[in-house]
Structure 1
Amino acid sequence: MEHVQSYYAATANPHDRWPRLADDILCDVCIIGGGFTGLSSALYLTEAGYDVVVLEAARVGFGASGRNGGQVVNSYSRDIDVIERRYGKESARLLGSMMFEGAAAIRDRIDRYAISCDYRPGGVFAALNSRQFSHLKQQHQRWQHYGNHQLELLDELGIRRKIASERYVGGLLDRSGGHLHPLNLALGEAEAIRRHGGRIYEESEATAVTYGTPHRVRTAQGSVLAKYVIFAGNAYLAPQLEPRLASKSLPCSSQIVVTEPLSRDKALALLPDNYCVEDRNYLLDYYRLTADNRLLYGGGVSYGAREPGNIHELIRPRLLKTFPQLEGIKFDYAWSGNFLLTLSRMPQIGRLENGVYYMQGDSGHGVTWTHLAGKLVCEALQGEPKRFDAFARLPHLPFPGGRRLRTPLTALGAAWYALRDRLGV
C-alpha cells in the first residue's frame, strides 16, 4: 500500500523501501506502527542499545505522520489549566514540566541526524474574537510559568504584520514552535533507526499478538518474539488486534489542500515571517507556506474517519474567508488523513500486560506529543517510569454510546462547540 497522493508524497526525499517480514525473528522490543509514535520510540530505544523491530502495515509515515499539517505545536490538545482543573496540581506540575520537550526533541533529531525536512521556526495562535484573545493572554502567562520564554503577545496591529488577513483580533507567537515536512522527518528518523541497527519492515501488518514470555507478534508471512511490545498504530491500528485500545478512542479525519506555487513575493505577502498559523476555534483552521511557496491549508473534522466527497469544496470557503485575495487560486493537491481522538482530548498511554505498552490518542497534537512519548517509553523500559506513569495515571474514558453511537454523539457535541465559535461565546 503506497502513501496517499499528497504534496508530501510528491516531494518526499529519495528513500529505499523497507523489506517485508518473511521470517520468524527475535528482538528485545517489537513496535507495531511505523509512524511518529513508533519511530520516536524506536529511535530512543536503539540509541539506548535495544534490539528493536518496527512492523508497519503499509509504508513508513503512511498514516497521520505523513499527512498532517506539519505544525510543531507545543503542549497538548488540552492546555495545562484544564489539566490542573481535572487532575490536580501535581499532575499539572508533572505534565507541565514536559510540554515543550516534544518540540525540542524534533529539533534535536533534525540537527543530530541532518534530516532535510524544511524546518522553519515560529508558530502563531490566532484569536478570532476577544474571548479567544483573553484565553491566549492567560496561556501566555501559563507557558512562561513553565519555562517557555520565546512568546510574544500580538495585538490586532501586531497580528496583521504576521498574517495578511482581517479575521483576527490578536494572537500569540511561539518562536519555539514551527513547521516542517512531516513525511521527510519520518523518513529521516527511519534512516537514523537503521544506522543504530534497528529493523523496520513495511507491508508487514501485525495480525495477532500472543502474550507470554516472550510475546509473539504475527504477520502474514512471519513473526516476532520479543520481551517488550509497544502498540503505536493510533488511528490506523486494526481494532480487532487489541480491542481494549479501540474501545476508548475514535478515529477522525482532517482535510488539507495545497495551492499551486505562488511567487515568493506573493507568498510572503500572506505570511511575511513564514510562521505557521492555527486559529483558536474548536474546529480550527491551520495553514502555512511550503518550501516551494505554496499555501498549505487544512481544517474541518469528519468523525468516524469518513472520507469526505470533495475536499476542494470543503476547504476553499475556509481558505478564502482567511485570504480573500486568493480568489481563483488553483489547488494542486488535496487529501484526507486520520488522527485518533480521545474523550478527554489527552493522550492515552499505559500497560496492557507485563512488558506490553501502548501510546495513542494524540487528539490533533501528534507531531510533538509522539516525540515526547518515545522518550517516556524508553525511560520506562530502562526502569525510570515516573514520567511515563504521570500520563498513564490519567483516566481513559470510553466514548458515550458505545461503538454504534459514539460517532454521531461526538459530532453532535462538536456542532455545539462550533456554534459557540461562530457566536464568539
Structure 2
Amino acid sequence: MFVAVATRRRVLLGALAGALLLAAAVVGFRAVDAGGPAPADTIESPVHRQTLAPGSSPVPARDPAGRRVVRVVAAGDVLVHPEVTAQARRDADRTGRPGALDFAPMFAGVAPAVAGADLALCHLETPLADAGGPFSGYPSFNAPPQVLDGVRSAGFDGCSTASNHTLDQGADGVARTVRALDAAGLGHTGSARSAAEAATPRIYRVGDVRIAHLAYSLNFNGLSRPPGQPWLANLIDPPEILAAAHRARAAGADIVVLSLHWGTEYQHLPDADQRAWAQQLISSPDVDLILGHHAHAVQPFQRFGDKWVVFGMGNELARHAEPVDDNREGVMARATFTETAPGRWTVTRMEALPTWTDLAPDLRLVDLTAALADPATGAGVRDDYRAAYDRVLGYVRALGAGPDQLVAPGGGAPSPRTRSR
C-alpha cells in the first residue's frame, strides 16, 4: 500500500542480519536547527538515513491518493531487572566476550516491526549507571547503559525517560542517563540536566515532517525533585503539558506525541486520573497522540474523534521477580499519520502489535504476529502464543475499539480461547 515504507522495510530487514549496521545508522543522528520562534532539539530519523543514497534527502511515503504518510511505532516499558542483565551477560559470553553485556538478542524478535517505522519511540523506565556499575534493581534501579545498544539495534530512535523511577539515583542518575542516551545517538525527553535542556522541545525530523515528543510521570515513588530544580524530571500537570505542547508547535512541530507514565499497576483498565487527563489533553489541538506506560499490564486503545489514546502498552522488556502473564504481555502501537489537509496530520490507521516475553531457554521478546505467521513455530508454543495474542487484543479493545478502527495485523478478533481476568 505504501511503496516507500515497503522499500524502507526491505532495506532494513536486510540490515537486521547485521545488527551493527542498524546501530551505526542510529549513531548517525544529526542535530539541526528546528527553525521557528522557539529553539528545538531536532533529530533526523536514522531509519530514513539508512535507506537513502548519499546526498539525497529523506521524504515521507505517500498513500495511493498522493498524501504524505508517516508511521510512528511506540513500545512499552524497558525495565532492566537484574535477570535481564544476567541474560545480557550470558548472551555476551556466547559470542566470546566474557564479562560484557549484550542486550541485542533480547530485542531481535521485535526489530523488524520497530525498524520498519519512520519514527520508533521506546520508554526507558530506569536510570542508567556507569558502564562498569554497580547495577541494581527494584526498588531503586541503576541499570547498565549497555541496554541502549539493544534499544538501538532494534531500530528505536529515542526514548521517554519520565517515570516513577526517574529519581531513583537522584540528579546524578538523571545526568548519567541523559549522557548515555546522547552518546548512543538516541533522542530523549522527560528528564533533563538543566532548565534550558528541559525547555528545549524534542523534535524528530522525518524528511521535512517534524514530530515532537513530550513525556511526564504521575509520581517519583515518594521522592521529590530538589528545590529549584523542577526541570530535573517532568511531573504530570495538565496546564504545564499543554503549554509545552504549544511551545513544540511554535518550534515547528507538525505532530505532537505525548508519553505519560500513569495508571494503576497491574490493572487492565484506566483509572479515574487516566480518564480525566486523557480527555483534557487529547482535546487540545496541540496534542495528536497519547502513549501510556507504567501499569506493567496492557490497557486499552481508545479513539477520541480522529485522535487516539493508548492507555498502556505493558512491558516491552522486563523480567519481574514473579513473572505472570500480565507482566510478560505487551503491545506496540503503530500509528499511521496522514496529511489530510495542508499542514494537518491525522491518525488514519492505528495498529496493535502484541508482544510476549519468553523466559526459557532464554529471555527473548516475541513479536506474536510474526511468530504466529511463521510455519517454523512449534505446535506447543504456538498455542501459548495464540493465547497471549488473544488476551492482548482483548485488553486493547476493552473500551470499544473494534477491528474497523483498530487493526491487528496477522489476526482479527480474539479467538474463543481468550480469557478475561
Structure 1 length-normalised TM = 0.28
Structure with bigger gyration radius: 1
More helix by percentage = 1
Q: TM-score, normalised by structure 2?
A: 0.29
